[in-house]
Amino acid sequence: MSKLHLVFGGRVADPRTLDFKDLSSIDIVGVFPDYASAEKAWRAAAQRTVDDAEMKYVIVHLHRLLEPDSLKPAV
């Protein structure tokens, strides 16, 4: 399975949290095939809004959501 990564962002109530104010205005940057390309897109999006403390962009590891059993330690 590909290690897909989603990059998105939006206005948050508190920059220390992921409590997005308006889910209908989330900016979906894209889905990327590896962490390096996702990080590059995240940096570009975050840099565009660097002066706005209420804007936050994140990288989500979609492959971890799609295959949660792969995260369990081997016994």
pLDDT of residue 73: 64
Nearest to residue 42, comparing CAs of 62, 22, 28?
A: 28
At 7 the pLDDT is 98
pLDDT lower than 50: segments of the chain: none
- The pLDDT score that the predictor gives to residue 26 is 96
Query: According to the model, what pLDDT value does residue 2 have?
Result: 73
pTM: 0.82
Under DSSP, is residue 54 helix (H, G, I), strand (E, B) or coil? coil
Asked if 32 and 4 count as a contact pair (C-beta separation under 8 A), the reply is yes
Contact in structure between 60 and 8 (CB atoms under 8 Å)? yes
The 10 Å Cβ neighbour count of residue 5 is 23
Provide the 8-state DSSP code for 73. Answer: P
Q: What is the pLDDT of residue 15?
A: 87
